[in-house]
């Protein structure tokens, strides 16, 4: 696996679950990275914590790591490599991919171990100023 550049984004993120038929909360898409996924069973939202929807089914305290892209669709093993390195360090993750790149969310309490594991594996990790 070639060396990747990973940017740790500022701020805290929340992963939330809403009812499958719930509307996307108004104004949600006006913020930094936001992911909204609807399935027959749920509406999942990942967003900055200060804009998280009001729901009892949510987990706050995530930090966002973004692989610097854009990444070509022909590249293989990026998420597998990063998730394997984090798993070996005992860091759980929530993964997202967009058209341009891959994103990993790790619990804020595990951020130090995540940065150490990715750096030790040869990746360049940039912390926010």
Domain covering 5-126, topology: VC0802-like (3.30.2130)
pTM for this prediction = 0.93
Q: Where are the domains of the chain?
A: 5-126
Q: How far is the CA of 24 from the CAs of 2, 21, 27, 34, 112, in angstroms?
A: 38, 9, 9, 11, 33
Q: What is the model's pLDDT at position 1?
A: 61
Question: How confident is the prediction along the chain (129 residues), in pLDDT tens digits per residue?
Answer: 679 999 999 999 999 999 999 999 999 999 889 999 999 999 999 999 999 999 999 999 999 999 999 998 888 889 999 999 999 999 999 999 999 999 999 999 999 999 999 999 999 999 998
Q: What is the model's pLDDT at position 27?
A: 93
Token pair of 41, please? 């069973």
User: Which residues face 18 on adjacent strands?
Assistant: 43
Q: What is the model's pLDDT at position 32?
A: 87
| Beta strands in 1-129, from DSSP E residues, in sequence order | 5-8, 13-18, 35-38, 43-48, 58-67, 94-97, 102-107, 124-126
Residue 40, by phi and psi: left (phi above 0), alpha (psi -120 to 50) or beta?
A: alpha
């Amino acid at each position: 696996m070639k060396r990747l550049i990973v940017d740790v984004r500022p701020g805290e993120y929340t992963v939330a679950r809403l009812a499958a038929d719930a509307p996307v909360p108004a104004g949600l898409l006006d913020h930094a990275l936001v992911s909204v996924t609807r399935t027959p069973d749920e509406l999942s939202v990942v967003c900055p914590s200060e804009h998280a929807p009001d729901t009892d089914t949510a987990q706050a305290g995530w930090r966002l790591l973004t692989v610097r892209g854009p990444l070509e669709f022909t590249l293989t093993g990026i998420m597998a490599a990063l998730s394997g390195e984090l798993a070996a360090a005992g860091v759980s993750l929530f993964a997202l991919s967009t058209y341009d790149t891959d994103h990993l969310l790790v619990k804020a309490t595990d951020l130090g171990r995540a940065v150490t594991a990715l750096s030790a594996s040869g990746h360049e990790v940039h912390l926010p100023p």
